[in-house]
Amino acid sequence: MKPRHKTAPDSPDQLFDIDSLLNDEEKAVRSTVRQFVDEKVKPHVADWYDTGQLPARELARQFGEIGLLGMHLEGYGCAGMSATAYGLACLELEAGDSGIRSLVSVQGSLAMQAIHAYGSEDQRTQWLPTMASGEAIGCFGLTEPDHGSDPGGMRTLAKRDGEDWVLSGTKMWITNGSVADVAVVWAQTEDGIRGFVVPTSTTGFTANEITTKMSLRASVTSELVLDGVRLPSSAMLPGAQGLSGPLGCLSEARFGIVFGVMGAARDCLETAIDYARTREQFGRPLGAFQLTQAKLADMTLEYGKGVLLALHLGRLKDAGRVAPKQVSLGKLNNAREAIRIARQCRTILGANGITSEYPVMRHANNLESVLTYEGTSEMHALVIGQALTGHQAFR
Ligand code: FAD
């Protein structure tokens, strides 16, 4: 029998020469976040996931120290970095866990973004510096128990009472909800949908953590109850009217997901490759069997294509030219391929793959949430379908 040759292994990133597409600043951000995740997240995240307990406040302060919170925003203590650098940070965070990336995404791309883009100068100066440092945590309340994909039908009401606003309603599935100091809440008014900056200490505001999740367990997810929450007139975001306000923030957060999910995919792929090179059956490593190699090759193709798509969208965004429908291309493709990669990697790990000793099943379970939030795959398919045909098929 001819000797079988072992060639020097390349990582998926090396095969695609991803480094050649990044500038020095982007590589520096990537390596800072990767090191943080390796030292402060990966050693603990399986426990956080198993127990459903996340040290969100401590993590937020640490993320603030390395300048990750609202890092793509300008001024008010934010780092003002490029969209691509922010995307790469999301990718590294999600290589740790989608829940950890969600904490940062919701803080920076949803809560801070809403205040930065639509807030008054007073709202910006009051909240953004402490949110950038991680002293204050934010959440973003759009979804309701009966209105998910179709948020335009929301029932949360904001009514005028003299100069004040009084908010009543329920928001559901709100990331960071129970640990938040401030909630950006979207509500119906006589003038259509408006956003409100709600300190969570306000009388009538309650957050109840959802503890029955089988996915994104290293993330705080809550129901928000607003029972006659009285706010001054200055609490309304002056720059957002109608659904375009929250949708603008969602497009920002989706952009981070386009990169982020490829981090989860990479972590699964690297775990599976490592496992396949060492685990032996039938007298040879799993990675020496053609069927395993075909799986690894196909997954590496989808991973590399996903990263290239993310970088392309990052370059478009940095040039001020990315459209929400293009972000939909990335969210649909990359979330779908990441979960496929995670599930396929699980097969390579056999029974070990179902345990929390390895990160693969945790990533796969997390990606179920990522497939659903920030617009389900179906919603993004409909956005792309409308762009291609001119017909909207949402209703
Ligand atoms: P539904 O809208 O009820 O949809 C159910 C299914 O029907 C989906 O497959 C959907 O694609 C499909 N469907 C719906 N309409 C159509 C149609 N017209 N054509 C074809 N198919 C259709 N929300 C926030 O506001 N803030 C947060 O911080 C936040 N964090 C979240 C964290 C987690 C872990 C999760 C799971 C969700 C979070 N969400 C958050 C909510 C999330 O955005 C919603 O779950 C999502 O928009 C889908 O809404 P839904 O779950 O009500 O599903």
* Residue 394 CB less than 6 A away from ligand 1: yes
Can you give the length of the chain in residues? 395
* Residue 216 CB less than 6 A away from ligand 1: yes
pLDDT for position 5: 58
Beta bridge partners of 170: 225
Cα dihedral 342, 344, 347, 349 sign: negative
Q: Which ranges of the chain does DSSP label H, i.e. alpha helix?
A: 12-15, 24-36, 45-51, 56-65, 83-96, 98-105, 113-118, 121-133, 244-278, 290-318, 324-348, 360-372, 377-389
Nearest alpha-carbon partner for 231 in 265, 185, 192: 185
pLDDT for position 57: 98
Among candidate residues 92, 223, 252, 374, the one labeled active-site is 374
Out of 368, 373, 380, 382, give the residue to mutate to test ligand 1, the one with the largest number of ligand atoms within 8 Å of its CB: 373
Long-range pairs for 315-323 at CB < 8 Å and ≥24 separation?
315/84, 317/83, 317/84, 317/255, 318/82, 318/83, 318/84, 322/83, 322/255
- The structure tokens 């779908």 sit at 336
CA 93 to CA 101: how far, in whole Å?
5
User: Is residue 269 over pLDDT 90?
Assistant: yes
Residue closest via CA to ligand 1's atom 19 equals 394
Q: Which ranges of 179-323 does DSSP label H, i.e. alpha helix?
A: 244-278, 290-318
Nearest alpha-carbon partner for 369 in 170, 143, 196: 143
Residue closest via CA to ligand 1's atom 52 equals 148
pLDDT range class, residue 360, cuts 50, 70, 90: very high
Cα dihedral 135, 141, 145, 149 sign: negative
8-23 residue pLDDT tens: 689 999 999 999 999 9
The mean pLDDT value of the chain amounts to 97
* Residue 372 CB less than 6 A away from ligand 1: yes
Report the separation in Å between the CA atom of 4 and the middle of ligand 1, taken as the mean of its atom positions: 50
Report the separation in Å between the CA atom of 373 and the middle of ligand 1, taken as the mean of its atom positions: 6
User: Is residue 46 over pLDDT 80?
Assistant: yes
User: Is residue 233 over pLDDT 50?
Assistant: yes
Q: Is 74 a catalytic residue?
A: no
Q: What mean pLDDT is predicted for residues 202-228? A: 98
CA 300 to CA 298: how far, in whole Å?
5
Residue closest via CA to ligand 1's atom 20 equals 378
* Rg of the chain on CA atoms, in Å: 22
Report the separation in Å between the CA atom of 165 and the middle of ligand 1, taken as the mean of its atom positions: 28
Does the pTM of the predicted model rise above 0.85?
Answer: yes
Nearest alpha-carbon partner for 307 in 8, 112, 26: 26
Out of 54, 94, 100, 173, give the residue to mutate to test ligand 1, the one with the largest number of ligand atoms within 8 Å of its CB: 173
DSSP 111: I
The token duo for 310 is 């993310």
User: Is residue 1 over pLDDT 70?
Assistant: no
Out of 94, 140, 143, give the residue to mutate to test ligand 1, the one with the largest number of ligand atoms within 8 Å of its CB: 143
Closest ligand 1 atom to the C-alpha of 141?
A: 25
CA 369 to CA 216: how far, in whole Å?
7
Q: Is 190 exposed, middle or buried (0-12, 13-18, 19+ CB in 10 A)?
A: exposed
pLDDT for position 9: 84
Contact 70, 108 (CB under 8 A): yes
* Residue 142 CB less than 6 A away from ligand 1: yes
What percent of the chain shows pLDDT beyond 90?
A: 98
Report the separation in Å between the CA atom of 170 and the middle of ligand 1, taken as the mean of its atom positions: 15
Nearest alpha-carbon partner for 128 in 271, 119, 29: 119
Q: Give the distance from CA 297 to its chain's centroid.
A: 27
Report angle CA 166, 152, 201 to the nearest 5 degrees: 30
Q: Is 265 exposed, middle or buried (0-12, 13-18, 19+ CB in 10 A)?
A: buried
Q: What mean pLDDT is predicted for residues 271-276? A: 98
304-357 residue pLDDT tens: 999 999 999 999 999 999 999 999 999 999 999 999 999 999 999 999 999 999
| Helix H or strand E segment including 205 | strand 205-209
User: Is residue 261 over pLDDT 70?
Assistant: yes
Which amino acid is it at 305?
Answer: K
CA 352 to CA 360: how far, in whole Å?
10
Report the separation in Å between the CA atom of 290 and the middle of ligand 1, taken as the mean of its atom positions: 39
CA neighbours within 13 Å on the CB side: how many for 21?
19
User: Is residue 264 over pLDDT 70?
Assistant: yes
Contact 222, 208 (CB under 8 A): yes
